Amino acid sequence: MYAVINDSGTQIKVQEGDVIRVDLRDHKAGDSVEFNSVALISKDDALLTSASELKNSKVVGKVIK
HEC letters along the chain: CEEEEEECCEEEEECCCCCCCCCCCCCCCCCEEEECCEEEEEECCEEECCHHHHCCCCEEEECCC
Predicted TM-score (pTM) of the model is 0.86
Q: Please tell me the predicted confidence (pLDDT) of residue 28.
A: 93
Tens digits of residue pLDDT in 3-60? 999 999 999 999 999 999 999 889 999 999 999 999 999 988 899 999 998 999 999 9
Q: Please tell me the predicted confidence (pLDDT) of residue 50.
A: 92
